[in-house]
Amino acid sequence: MKKIVKFVGILLAFVAFAMVASPQSARAAHSNYRVKTLKTYRIQTNSGSNVAFHAKPGTKATLWVNPDSVNAKQIKSSVFHKKGIKLSSYKTTTWFVQTKVRIYQHSKSATYYYVNNRYGSVVGYVRTNALKRGFSPYGYQITGIKWYGKYDSFHVKSAYKQKNVYVWNYTHTKRVANLKHYPGANFAKTA
C-alpha cells in the first residue's frame, strides 16, 4: 500500500511539474519579436537616391544590428536587445532602405526600416522617425556610380598647371596632393 501511495504521489508531482513548466516554454517562444513586411524598396536609379536616407540631426536612435536576412519573420529577443549602433556616430553615412517592417512583441508594435550602408557592411533595423529622406549632408557622399568597373586616364589641362588644384581624401576633409607639383603626370580614374 505504501508503494502505491508513493507512486501516486510521485506521479502527481510529475504531472504538476509538467503543467507548471509547459506554459513557461510557450511564453518564452512567444517572447520573440514577430516581423511583418509592409513595403519592399527597390533601387530605381543609378545613385540609389529613391531609397537614400540619413540620420536626423541630434537623433539618439539606435540601429539594431541583425545578422538575419532582410526576410526574417522572427527575431530572437536576445539578439534584438543587444547593444546597437548609435546613429549619431554615423552622421556622414547615407543609409539605403531595403524594407519597411512592423515589429510586434506582445501587444506593442513599432515601424522600422531595414537599412544598410553603401557597401552593405552595416545592416540592421532603425525606427522610421529617426531617418530623413536624402543623402547625408555631411562628408563626401557618392551620389552616383558611373565608373564602377571602368578605368580611364587623364592629365591636368595646361591652364591649370600653375594653379592650386587639389586631390582630396575620401571624406573630403584633407588635401592629399596639389596637382601643380605633378606637371607631366597622367592620373588613373577607377571606382
At 116-125, the pLDDT tens digits run 888 778 888 9
Identity (one letter) of the amino acid at 42? R
Q: What is the pTM of this model?
A: 0.61
Q: CB-hemisphere CA count at 13 Å for 67? A: 4
CA–CA gap between residue 61 and residue 91 (Å, rounded): 12
Supply 112's cell numbers: 522600422
In what helix (H) or strand (E) does residue 25 lie, and over which residues does it extend? helix 2-30
Reported as a single tens digit per residue, the pLDDT across 1-21 is: 777 767 667 766 666 666 665
Boundaries of every domain in the chain: 31-133, 151-190
User: In this structure, are residues 62 and 86 in contact, taking their beta carbons and an 8 Å threshold?
Assistant: yes
